[in-house]
Chain A
Amino acid sequence: MASAPRSELPAAVPPLTPARPVIWPPRVHKTLSNGLEVVLVESHTIPKFTGELFFRSGNAVAIAKAPGLADMTATVARTGTLKRSSREIEEDLRRMGSDLSSGAGADTSVISFAGLVEFSNGLLGLVSELAQQANFPEDEFERERRQLIEGLRIERTTPGFLASERLRRVLFGAHPYGTISPTEVQVTSYRVEQLKEFYQRYYRPGNALLVMVGDFSPQAMLAQIESAFGSWASGPVEEAPDPALPELPGRRVYLVHLPGSVQTQISVGNRAITRKHPDWLRLTLANSIYGGAFNSRLVMNIREEKGYTYSPHSGAHPMRQHGYFSIGAAVRNDVVAATLTEIFYEIDRMRSTPVGEEELDDARSYLTGVFSLGLATQDGLAGQLATSTLEKLPDDYLETYRERVLKLTSADVLDAAQKYFDSAHAQIVIVGDRAEIESQAAQFGKPEVYDAQGNRI
């Protein structure tokens, strides 16, 4: 894009030279006869490969049985199979120079792995075993349960966790997206049979996506995948429930009391959209101008001008059924009200005044450039392929991303801000010591106060 004259910039700044095109490595996209969807891309940066085996079922689908069940299932699934004990699994991984982790979010469960290409056959064999023949040993389950409970107790002392938990509850209510973590009582009542049932039902090839990027030939890798996963029996696939979302009243303030806090975690949010929504790129661009980049308005204002905070940010968070927009900053206790005032000032500016050509141009360049950076590593490539395939975005979504961003206008940004930066209905969460911050919060509405365990006080 041609740049408008930049009067405030020093004359000596070297111009950008002509950009080299981003060349997409060819990818193999194939569905095996049992329904397993496979995406493979070569990347020869290092003699390794990285992969992710996704199941399109996460904590949301089983929320009625128990929050967090998908995550616990994924955690225990790596601790034993019909053929290998927990210790053998860990030692085999090390022998193959490999890393493996497993977990689940709201919409997916995943086994992630990476290793030396010379051991790809062995590692695929192990991943296949974890996906098909995990045997959920009782003692491993009990140990992981206790670790999870201790982890939850520590999370309840972590300002960032408490802010996310309350914001999601406020935005999504009883919808599965309203719960980001189980309670201790819920974890205590997990039964290993529930894990096995989740595993039998959702760890199925027709519900799965395997993405691999690395130093291999896709055709040869496809043959290895066929041999490791080809005989896996398929099963029915089911969607997660999508109950009605709560009506959001106007702007509300929620205070989570964490005694002794020497700082306050602020989180402000609205419901927004998924990546499939036609407004998605508009929102992404508006977010980048508002608070999604170092060079954004919010960072300039509350960090670089006022020094209220170290790490202000905003983000659009797409999930499968819905999405949300949030703004976060950890600030010193005496500037909570002042920070909220600036957050809303910048929101209202985005909603009322069109973005100028230069700022727009800068933000478009930022988004397209960062996108290119994400293609230069195996992990980055795998992440982008996983997102576009999981969300069933158009085949050329990644190839056309840059040109679609470059076509966005100032009117697009204004439109997205007016729709999704909804200051009149913004939900405000602050986590800190009540005595230090409650009167400041009250300037924005009467706070509903909770303790760190989630109880109303």
Chain B
Amino acid sequence: MTQLNIPIESTTLPNGLRVVISPDRAAPVATLGVYYNIGFRIEPRGRSGFAHLFEHMMFQGSANAGKMVHIKLINSSGGVLNGSTHYDVTNYYESVPSNALERVLWLEADRMRALKVDDENLRNQRDVVKEEVRVNVLNQPYGGFPWLDLPPIAYRSWSNAHNFYGDFDDLDAATLDDVQNFFKTYYAPSNAVLLILGDADADEVIKLAERHFASIPSGPQPAPADIDEPPQIEERRALVEEKFGTLPGVAIGYQSPRRLTPEWHAAAMLDQALHGGRAGRVYRRLVLEQQIAVDAEGGIHYPVGDLFDYNGPTLMVTRLLHKPEYSVDQTIAAYDQIIAEMKEKGITAEELEPIKVKFRSNYFSMLEGGHGASIPRYGLMHLLACFSLFDNDPQLVNTILDGFMEVTPQAVQSVAQKLLTRHNRSIAIRQPAKKGAA
């Protein structure tokens, strides 16, 4: 097995901004990102969707760069940019030819320093966000299934359970004051990490980071959101109407172990045994052999994240679309048979070893890409950011595989017996509003 030795330099500026650099000078391009430790799960109570709406506002103008200047400067430097909101982090990132590196740092520093936006910008982006919700959720077959369906079924705390994309009433209620207060509370340098990957010299980049970011004033650490959950004691189920799609959908989510624990390592291998593509037990049994389902996917923190990019409760999810001639109960019964076998008989070393090989291979691919071919090393950036913000240890990127490679068949069976119980799961059922199309 290849021992990973990705070069990683890191430092913390006096204002609390963490800086992580991973140089690789093979191609003259660089990927940069700023991650803030705020996401849609941990946004303020009663303001559903605000973290994501705010992400849009970060492109609307900052201290010295007005609306569109960020986008224009990056595109005209030959680069691409975007941002995205996750459970516990929000990111802003650019990939550029490396001669634009300092320009990008200047832009990111400028919007960490101050946001300069007006009511018109807010109205505009509120409209844009509503169309985003419509195109991704309200006007698509299986939109939001199950990433928006399961949390309100599975969780009791507002943070874990609410509508992450936002109720339109809450989006409408957002004011410019809310925007500036949110910025003040969550966008201080001490709540962020700056990442630079690719064609850059570590010492030079640290100097540049100091030049542009060191004078941004620090702020108090935001109060942590309440994401504690009472222990689940019974299976939870709910029906959700499927407005467009023709097949019934079933999503099953089990409360998953805490990150970076031996149980989490074992759960990841269990997840691969169940959901590892067409060789995984769920797809093989339900789609290929019994042919009850026509699609089966799943994973830990699936489908809007992965094993690494959350910092609190999450689910191991199975998502099924099944044939209409099978009832939901028959489908779940067939699924339960797979789960029962895993708990009773466990997994052999002959099954586990290939799973580890595939896991390692997937991990390498994630480091390189993860966002198509347009953002080189997006995956490595994402991991470095999460390990910095959640664990204060970006070097985990080089060692995290070890724990998974040491998992034994017994550990997989034990974690299956512990996690895969009825009282530990929630089920969302998408029922098509109309009969299958002729």
Residues of chain A touching chain B, judged by Cβ–Cβ distance below 8 Å, are 9-10, 12-22, 44-48, 86-87, 90-91, 93-99, 114-116, 143, 146-147, 150-151, 153-154, 156-159, 258, 260-263, 293-295, 300, 303-311, 330-332, 361-363, 365-370, 372-380, 383, 452-453
Assembly CA distance A181 to B369 (angstroms): 30
Q: Does B64 contact A (CB under 8 A)?
A: yes
In the A-B complex, list the 9 residue pairs whose CB atoms are closest, starting with the nearest: A369-B78, A307-B127, A97-B361, A380-B373, A362-B76, A20-B28, A295-B75, A376-B376, A310-B132
Which residues in chain B, 386-438, are within 8 Å of chain A measured between CB atoms? Answer: 436-438
Which residues in chain B, 120-170, are within 8 Å of chain A measured between CB atoms? Answer: 123-132, 134-135, 138-142
Assembly CA distance A16 to B100 (angstroms): 5
Does B368 lie within 8 Å of A46, measured CB to CB? Answer: yes
Assembly CA distance A220 to B247 (angstroms): 49
Does B131 lie within 8 Å of A366, measured CB to CB? Answer: no
Assembly CA distance A262 to B168 (angstroms): 14
Q: Does B238 contact A (CB under 8 A)?
A: no
Report B-chain residues with C-beta under 8 Å of the C-beta of A44.
26
Does A153 lie within 8 Å of B246, measured CB to CB? Answer: yes
Does A369 lie within 8 Å of B96, measured CB to CB? Answer: yes
Out of A9, A263, A372, A378, which one reaches B368, CB within 8 Å?
A378
Report B-chain residues with C-beta under 8 Å of the C-beta of A376.
26-27, 29, 198, 376-377
Does A158 lie within 8 Å of B141, measured CB to CB? Answer: yes
Report A-chain residues with C-beta under 8 Å of the C-beta of B373.
373-374, 377, 379-380, 383
Report B-chain residues with C-beta under 8 Å of the C-beta of A15.
103
Q: Does B347 contact A (CB under 8 A)?
A: no
* Residues A372 and B72 in contact in the complex (CB < 8 Å), given A86-B288, A95-B354, A150-B323: no
Assembly CA distance A50 to B77 (angstroms): 29
Does B135 lie within 8 Å of A304, measured CB to CB? Answer: no
Assembly CA distance A366 to B73 (angstroms): 10
- Chain B, Cβ-Cβ closest to A374: B373
Report A-chain residues with C-beta under 8 Å of the C-beta of B295.
147
Does A303 lie within 8 Å of B128, measured CB to CB? Answer: yes
Does B364 lie within 8 Å of A372, measured CB to CB? Answer: no
Q: Does B71 contact A (CB under 8 A)?
A: yes
* Residues A330 and B95 in contact in the complex (CB < 8 Å), given A45-B368, A48-B365, A307-B123: no
How many chain B residues touch A (CB < 8 A): the figure is 91
Assembly CA distance A370 to B124 (angstroms): 28
Report B-chain residues with C-beta under 8 Å of the C-beta of A147.
287, 294-295
Does A150 lie within 8 Å of B276, measured CB to CB? Answer: no
* Residues A150 and B26 in contact in the complex (CB < 8 Å), given A330-B131, A373-B80: no
Nearest chain A CB to B29 CB, angstrom units: 5
- Chain A, Cβ-Cβ closest to B247: A150
Which residues in chain B, 49-107, are within 8 Å of chain A measured between CB atoms? Answer: 64-65, 67-69, 71-81, 95-103, 105-106
Out of A150, A261, A367, which one reaches B294, CB within 8 Å?
A150
Out of A94, A99, A143, A262, which one reaches B134, CB within 8 Å?
A262
Out of A12, A99, A311, A362, which one reaches B75, CB within 8 Å?
A362
Q: Does B20 contact A (CB under 8 A)?
A: no
25 contacts between A and B (CB under 8 A): A10-B64, A17-B102, A19-B28, A19-B99, A22-B27, A46-B368, A47-B364, A90-B284, A95-B353, A146-B323, A154-B245, A157-B246, A262-B139, A332-B134, A362-B76, A365-B78, A368-B78, A372-B78, A373-B78, A374-B374, A376-B376, A377-B376, A379-B369, A379-B372, A453-B438
Nearest chain A CB to B245 CB, angstrom units: 5
Does B29 lie within 8 Å of A304, measured CB to CB? Answer: no
Report B-chain residues with C-beta under 8 Å of the C-beta of A150.
246-247, 294, 321, 323
Report B-chain residues with C-beta under 8 Å of the C-beta of A311.
131-132, 135
Q: Does B277 contact A (CB under 8 A)?
A: yes
Does A18 lie within 8 Å of B99, measured CB to CB? Answer: yes
Does A295 lie within 8 Å of B71, measured CB to CB? Answer: yes
- Chain B, Cβ-Cβ closest to A453: B437
Assembly CA distance A87 to B285 (angstroms): 11
Nearest chain A CB to B126 CB, angstrom units: 8
Q: Does B302 contact A (CB under 8 A)?
A: no
Does A146 lie within 8 Å of B28, measured CB to CB? Answer: no
With most chain A CB atoms within 10 A of its CB, the pick from B96, B138, B141 is B141
- Chain A, Cβ-Cβ closest to B361: A97
Does B99 lie within 8 Å of A157, measured CB to CB? Answer: no
Report B-chain residues with C-beta under 8 Å of the C-beta of A366.
75-76, 78
Residue-wise interface mask of B (243-256) relative to A, using a CB-CB cutoff of 8 A (1 in contact, 0 not): 11111000000000
Q: Does B355 contact A (CB under 8 A)?
A: yes
Excluding A22-B27, A150-B321, A153-B436, 6 further A-B contacts by CB distance (< 8 Å) are A17-B99, A45-B24, A114-B365, A157-B246, A311-B132, A379-B368
Does B68 lie within 8 Å of A300, measured CB to CB? Answer: yes
Q: Does B258 contact A (CB under 8 A)?
A: no
Nearest chain B CB to A57 CB, angstrom units: 25
Out of B69, B80, B365, which one reaches A9, CB within 8 Å?
B69
Out of B28, B358, B377, which one reaches A97, CB within 8 Å?
B358
Residue-wise interface mask of B (217-250) relative to A, using a CB-CB cutoff of 8 A (1 in contact, 0 not): 0000000000000000000000000011111000
Nearest chain A CB to B103 CB, angstrom units: 5
- Chain A, Cβ-Cβ closest to B360: A97
Does B357 lie within 8 Å of A373, measured CB to CB? Answer: no
Does B28 lie within 8 Å of A10, measured CB to CB? Answer: no
Report B-chain residues with C-beta under 8 Å of the C-beta of A380.
373-374, 376
With most chain B CB atoms within 10 A of its CB, the pick from A22, A48, A153 is A153
Does B78 lie within 8 Å of A94, measured CB to CB? Answer: no
Nearest chain A CB to B41 CB, angstrom units: 22
